[in-house]
Structure 1
Amino acid sequence: MKRVIITGPTGTIGIALIQKLISENIEVTAVCHVGSQRISRIPLSPLVKIVECSLSELGTLPSLLNGQYEVFYHFGWDGTFGNSRNNMHGQNLNVKYTLDAVEVASLLGCHTFIGAGSQAEYGRFEGKLSAQTPTNPENGYGIAKLCAGQMSRILCSQKNIKHIWTRILSVYGPFDGDKTMVMSTIGKLLNHERPEFTKGEQQWDYLFSEDVALAMYLLGEKGISGKIYCIGGGTVSPLSKYIETIKDNIDKNAELGLGDVPYGEKQVMYLCADITDLQEDVGFSPQFTFEEGIRKTIDWYKQNM
């Protein structure tokens, strides 16, 4: 890889991937929403070019760019939190934007298209998640991600582009949204507030953003066309243990409201990625323990939030 494009580059995964690609001396074109307030997050480097282009206008990208590219990372997606996940018309547009991204990738000479899917494509499942696990999404977001992956695979085949779809589990790290469990807990503990949780009995798989970036980089280099890769750490711990680790790295004496919040009707109680294909196909293995990653995340939060 020498030149890549990334849509949705200002989230925790996008920023970590840009940093990884810079370290590998790879040119990056970061495609951001017009007027995005998060553009300032993107690392400054001679290797990075920022282009403002909304998802609805992706078809204009070829006229804004010069030269050929090799890999197209499509992370851009509207409506990832709260009620927007069940905005059916909005989620349906995301499928169109994904197909638009494939068309643009073809016009720019890309040989590989990598899409960011989600654990939400599976719904609730008690067991390790792999490409072979049955999919049963329970919200519009998961349905749209599943459809986007399937339809973009067919379109890539028609365009003779290598297609790789990822299903990303729970990620944490710098630049993550402040409403996630990890970031909201860090914020409340630093503000000397008492965060509230369920009992935290859920068995969960968390992966640090820099490890996700490593996986994405390796997939761009060695991923196998047509495959679906689950991205996670491959191991689980009780959610309460992660929460205790966050607390111990901020204030060992802080009070936690474990058990204050009842479980939701559709609460997922087990979430873990089977990363066998990632290990065998591209040589991926996580480089950070949760404690190492959370220390870096807390340090970033203190400096930036």
Structure 2
Amino acid sequence: MEDNKRNVIVTGAAGFAGINLVMELLDNDYEVFAVVRPGSAHNARLEDLNNERLHIIPLEMDELERLPYEIFERFPELTDEDEGFESFFHLMWGGDRNDFEVQKINVVGAIHAVRAASMVKCRRFIGIGSQAEYGATRKIQTEDLSPVPVTSYGACKAAACYLTKNLAESLGMEWIWARIFSLIGRYEPHGRMLPDLVYRASNGMKMDLSSCRQSWNYLDVTDCARALIALSERGKEGEIYNITDGKCLTLKQYVERANAWVYEKTGKMAEIAYGDDPEPFISLQPDGSKLLRDTGWKPCRGFEDSLQEYCTK
């Protein structure tokens, strides 16, 4: 590795949000140590980048406590007193949202990640939270709102938030928690609403949805990556941040906007059948002013920019 490189660690680096963060970090001249699940087909995304500043480390969630040994064995120069890491981005998380036993494993993994970050002399730990921590509240979702999660996923994300903060403080390491809302764009997997809608609309197919009455906020995953880097560089230690531009429409408005966009491109559109309200009725009203105020971050990509990604795979 070259001298004066800014070293960072990203767990879950081959996932939807992770790969976009890695790509943005590399574009900003960071040296990236990417932790991935061994054998995942998604790891090819990182391998295809073919970047000498990218170092791939395969480890399972329950192996994260081994990460410092893996790093120091491969890169002994990082044991020097003047070396270390700028930030540790912990995105690795898995399992069904309502599988409590699996979600508990994620909490333990997050604790191991904090300990690993401390052992490699990391300046700042950035944990990735979720809008699921807020639950089904009808209030504007500001960072000081008490979590009322309605899924095991949301409950365990909230638990990880408080536990990682407490542990990071005890280890003398800076800590930030970034709550992501709904991301769209490059590498978004099929089976989610927008990529499936674009596909069905492009082929003139029918799509069954809920009532789509709920308020929602979409943010391009590249803008999310830029926000996480901004928090690494300029965020305030010990704070929770909503990763959002705060601009909301109803899901139905987003659906109709996407359907119309496809029609302009292809002359085809989906036949949408709206159904009942989902249960629980999650309606997002996130406040993103704290992120903007503390870091100066602003989104660069619009909704249609994100839709274009589903047509270029």
TM-score bin, normalised by smaller chain: over 0.9
Normalising to structure 1: TM-score of the pair? Answer: 0.92
Which is strand-richer, 1 or 2? 2
Match of 1:111, SS? strand
* Equivalent residue for 1:54, pick from 49, 60, 63: 60
Aligned partner of 2:288 in structure 1 is 275
Match of 1:72 in 2: 88
Is 1:257 aligned with 2:261?
no
The structure 1 residue matched to 2:100, chosen from 88, 91, 94, is 88
Supply the distance in 2 between the matched residues of 1:180 and 1:241 (Cα, whole angstroms). Answer: 17
Q: Distance in 1 between matches of 2:144 and 2:56?
A: 37
Say if 2:30 and 2:53, in contact at 8 Å, map to a contact too: yes
Distance of 1:178 and 1:222 partners within structure 2: 34
Residue 86 of structure 1: how far off its partner (Å): 1.7
1:6 aligns with 2:19: no
After superposition, the CA RMSD in angstroms is 1.5
Does the 8 A contact of 2:176 with 2:237 survive in 1?
yes
Secondary structure in 2 matching 1:132 = coil
**Deviation digits for residues 122-162 of structure 1 (CA, Å, limit 9, x no counterpart):** 11122321111121001110000000010000000011111
Q: Does 2:131 correspond to 1:128?
A: no
Counterpart-to-counterpart distance in 2, 1:55 and 1:118: 19
Aligned counterparts, 1:16-35, within 5 A: 16-35=20-39
Contact in 2 for aligned 1:232/1:272 (Cα 8 Å): no
Residue pair 1:200, 1:258 contacting (<8 A) in 2 also:
no
Q: Which residue of 2 aligns with 1:288?
A: 301
Q: Which runs of 5+ in 1 are unaligned?
A: none
SS at match of 2:117: helix
Q: Which amino acid aligns with 1:71?
A: S
Amino-acid identity (%)? 30
CA distance in 2, matches of 1:16, 1:78: 18
What SS does the corresponding residue of 1:230 show, helix, strand or coil? strand
List aligned pairs for 1:1-305, cutoff 5 A: 2-42=6-46, 43-65=49-71, 66=75, 67=78, 68-79=84-95, 84-252=96-264, 253-259=268-274, 261-268=275-282, 270-295=283-308, 297-300=309-312, 304=313
Q: Aligned pair count?
A: 294
CA distance in 2, matches of 1:131, 1:242: 25
Task: Report the Cα offset of residue 200 of structure 1.
Answer: 2.3
Instruction: Quote the offset at 1:243 in angstroms.
Output: 1.2
**Counterparts of 2:279 and 2:249 in 1: how far apart (Å)?**
22
Greater Rg over alpha carbons, structure? 2
Corresponding letter in the other structure for 1:264: P
| 1:49 counterpart SS class | strand
Q: Take 1:237 and 1:70, find their aligned partners in 2: how far apart are those partners?
A: 37
Listed as ranges, the gaps of 5+ residues in structure 2 are 79-83
2:22 partner amino acid: I
> Which SS does the other structure have where 1:135 is aligned?
coil
Query: One-letter code of the match for 1:69?
Result: F
Task: Give, in whole Å, the separation in 1 of the partners of 2:279 and 2:214.
Answer: 14
